[in-house]
Structure 1
Amino acid sequence: MDLRYGMNPRQRARIAGDSAAHVRVLHGSGSMINYLDALNAWQLVAEARRATGAVAAASFKHVSPAGAALNGVLDDTVRTVWGLGSASLGSLAAAYVRARDADPRSSYGDMIAVSEPVDEELADLLATVVSDGIIAPGYAPGVVAKLGRKKAGRYLVFEMDPDYCPPAVEMRTVFGVALEQDRDREPITADLLRSVQGPALTDAASTDAVLGMIVARYTQSNSVVFVRDGMTVGVGAGQQSRVDCTQLAGNKARTWWLRRHPGIRDLPLPSGLPPQQRVNWQIALASDTLTATQRDELAGLLPRPHTLPDNRERARWSRELTGITLVSDGYLPFRDNIDVAAEYGVTLVVEPGGALRGDTIADACREHRIALARTDLRLFHH
């Protein structure tokens, strides 16, 4: 089957034989990257659903999750950004909103994956966001036609056979070399968590750890994942240095948290502003990256003067962020990862262990009063 194109529009691409029989295209035409995102995202949400028993959703961009979440509580910031008011949402829509709100700037034009059949509520919500496609195990009557109207009729809709069992061996060809490996089928459960430092893990902490490990399994390595209350709040993907992963995930988590400051959350932007533009202004203010031109543009948008948090207030608010679980796909080689993590509200670190300086990692966790659990399970993904 021919694809729209490969990694780039100049590259032709196709699916060999009938290898995609378990993935139906109900609407649209996919590129290779669309398929890579959809297939990785589906594996993440399906595994999260099995491991936690909760409805799961993911927002993928360039073969890594921008966000992933289980169904849970929607806070005031989420409700403000996505125009939800006080309305209640079903578990599927709630899971996706939480996944997208982790890093909504990166989720712009995402591939969505959800663990349950798509209902009308989620389809209506997706009409308000910029997305390239979705993969799910099914769709309610009329939903595919509704989704198909997105992107001027080019929206991509995949249906996955939830009972499909993949081959035990994976293969890829790189520069003429055919490489094979066993599929990574090790179950990710709370039983993997071996406490090294700190108190015994609560059920909530174990769930966050399990979700973080599953997200890391489908994130480009090196990777570090920050999880809080059943949702990612920062993903540091594809970095050569692990401490850079930690810093990147931490910066995203802090931006997520600062978006919850009333001075940023309640920015009096025009009511008709699209949700993505509204959240982009929040992110620019939270990350303190406004250019001079943007400051002038924002001043023109605001109907009245508005007090933004100054540096001292931003620092005070940032210190209140806590309860974050850090999951690393590989062992932490140096204590600088822990020192950085402590600056971003991490209270539990989960890593495979095995570093030569493993004792220094435990010592650093003890100094910062951070719990440490090891799994003996590396989760590299390339």
Structure 2
Amino acid sequence: MANELELKYGCNPNQKPARIFMQDGSDLPIKVLCGRPGYINFLDAFNGWQLVRELKAATGLPAAASFKHVSPAGAAVGLPLTDTLKKIYFTDNVELSPLACAYARARGADRMSSFGDWISLSDVCDLPTAQLIAKEVSDGIIAPGYTEEALAVLKGKKKGNYNIVEIDPNYEPAAIERKDVFGITFEQGHNNLKIDSEMLSNLVTENKNLPEEAKRDLVIALITLKYTQSNSVCYAVDGQVIGVGAGQQSRIHCTRLAGNKADIWHLRQHPKVLGLQFVPGLGRANRDNAIDVYISDECEDVLGDDVWQNFFTLRPEPLTAAEKKEWLASFTGVSLGSDAFFPFGDNVERARRSGVSYIAQPGGSIRDDQVIETCNRYGIAMAFTGIRLFHH
């Protein structure tokens, strides 16, 4: 290992020189096994590694994350997939290890946003996980190690130029962290806050029933938010993130954005979507685009007679607004985390439309009573954590 690594350029090609290095002169805790990762790649890698490491510590399960532009598009732990999830994640008839399940879930949360992502794994990358990654468009991966078989598969991506980074799992950062903005150095303590189910004990709503599965999903949502550009809101269910709203100035816009992504995740499981007949040989990215258009309100405008046949062997029957509403109304049990307090009850109203039954947020708004009243109206259980999770 070395204490610095020269990069091709910074955030943009005009930002040179660029490097990552250890200020104390010690060796970097990473090895580049293949490729030449860039500045943003490493930002995604180090944020993603922290996220999956904490998910595993909190749940005891292998974890994976899919990052784009320093925010997670998806994150998950390694729970088995249902037959429906296997189909919408394109993993039918594929051997899936627990780590591969975690990656399939993380990638499948928001497949449009995960196109060209950076992957983070909590465990040594095994062959089943590498074989899934080989089929997807991705910029690179960070993990604490790779089996020989997995490494051989990954080195075959991008004509041998796929970015593969190995990180020392025992590395711990310094207690104080710094960064420069406009030539001025900022300094703060590293955010070593431990997130677990104990911070969900302050249930402020009439409904105080918080099942173990909901606690797990709320913890997953909160840990994900810890590494998401603020303002941010995260929806999670069944051990995985299904919608992230990141970097919005308004909290209701976070809730809407994340809720819309969660709705798309739900709608991908509709029988009409599962029954779509694609043109043989259609690539995964084109399938994702076709599904996204089919689900959208603009489907009839976009899929004209001269377009639909490029994607489908048979012109699909439209998924009507009434069918979408009915399908989405059938989902409940979704957990939602917010990195700061809800200032108004409108966030709860929007969250409820995407199946949210459980909420964790810091509390502390002058309108907390209004937010609690809105939860009570719909039987939603809400915990005040007392902890803000801003990340910039």
The TM tier, using the shorter chain, reads over 0.9
SS in 1 for 2:113: coil
Structure 2 residue identity aligned to 1:237 = A
Inter-partner Cα distance in structure 2 for 1:200 and 1:317: 25
Alignment partner, residue 185 of structure 2: 178
Once the 2 structures are TM-superposed, how far is the Cα of residue 154 of structure 1 from its aligned partner? 1.9
Inter-partner Cα distance in structure 2 for 1:53 and 1:289: 43
- 285-294 or 355-364, larger mean C-alpha shift: 285-294
SS in 2 for 1:240: coil
Contact kept? 1:41, 1:58, Cα under 8 Å: yes
Inter-partner Cα distance in structure 2 for 1:102 and 1:89: 17
Inter-partner Cα distance in structure 1 for 2:88 and 2:27: 37
Alignment partner, residue 84 of structure 1: 91
Structure 2 matches for 1:216-365, cutoff 5 A?
216-290=225-299, 292-295=301-304, 296-365=306-375
In structure 1, which of residues 63, 68, 73 is the aligned counterpart of residue 70 of structure 2? 63
Once the 2 structures are TM-superposed, how far is the Cα of residue 87 of structure 1 from its aligned partner? 4.2
Structure 2 residue identity aligned to 1:205 = A
Once the 2 structures are TM-superposed, how far is the Cα of residue 84 of structure 1 from its aligned partner? 2.7
Inter-partner Cα distance in structure 2 for 1:265 and 1:115: 31
In structure 2, which of residues 177, 180, 198 is the aligned counterpart of residue 191 of structure 1? 198
Contact kept? 1:25, 1:156, Cα under 8 Å: yes
Alignment partner, residue 114 of structure 1: 121
Pair 268,78 (structure 1): closer, same or farther in 2 beyond 3 Å = same
Alignment partner, residue 96 of structure 1: 103
Q: Deviations over 1:156-184 (max 9, x none)?
A: 00101111111001101111211100111
Inter-partner Cα distance in structure 2 for 1:292 and 1:103: 23
Inter-partner Cα distance in structure 2 for 1:176 and 1:165: 27
Q: Deviations over 1:342-370 (max 9, x none)?
A: 11111011101111111111111001211
Structure 2 residue identity aligned to 1:268 = Q
TM-score by length of 1: 0.96
Inter-partner Cα distance in structure 2 for 1:333 and 1:305: 45
Inter-partner Cα distance in structure 2 for 1:69 and 1:24: 25
Inter-partner Cα distance in structure 1 for 2:333 and 2:196: 20
Q: Deviations over 1:249-273 (max 9, x none)?
A: 1100111111110111220002322
Pair 82,224 (structure 1): closer, same or farther in 2 beyond 3 Å = closer
Contact kept? 1:323, 1:347, Cα under 8 Å: yes
2:36 equivalent to 1:36 = no
- 270-279 or 198-207, larger mean C-alpha shift: 270-279
Q: Deviations over 1:89-113 (max 9, x none)?
A: 1101111001111000000000000
2:221 equivalent to 1:212 = yes
Inter-partner Cα distance in structure 2 for 1:88 and 1:119: 11
Inter-partner Cα distance in structure 1 for 2:47 and 2:350: 29
In structure 1, which of residues 65, 74, 79 is the aligned counterpart of residue 81 of structure 2? 74
Inter-partner Cα distance in structure 1 for 2:27 and 2:162: 19
Contact kept? 1:264, 1:308, Cα under 8 Å: no
Inter-partner Cα distance in structure 1 for 2:174 and 2:298: 46
Structure 1 residue identity aligned to 2:70 = V
2:161 equivalent to 1:157 = no
Q: Deviations over 1:119-155 (max 9, x none)?
A: 1111111111000000000000143232122122221
Once the 2 structures are TM-superposed, how far is the Cα of residue 286 of structure 1 from its aligned partner? 1.9
Q: Deviations over 1:222-270 (max 9, x none)?
A: 0000001111110000000000000001100111111110111220002
Structure 1 residue identity aligned to 2:14 = R
**What is the number of equivalent residue pairs in this alignment?**
382
Once the 2 structures are TM-superposed, how far is the Cα of residue 86 of structure 1 from its aligned partner? 4.0
Pair 176,247 (structure 1): closer, same or farther in 2 beyond 3 Å = same
Contact kept? 1:270, 1:302, Cα under 8 Å: yes
Contact kept? 1:57, 1:99, Cα under 8 Å: yes
Gaps of 5+ in 2: none
- 239-248 or 177-186, larger mean C-alpha shift: 177-186
Inter-partner Cα distance in structure 1 for 2:357 and 2:55: 22
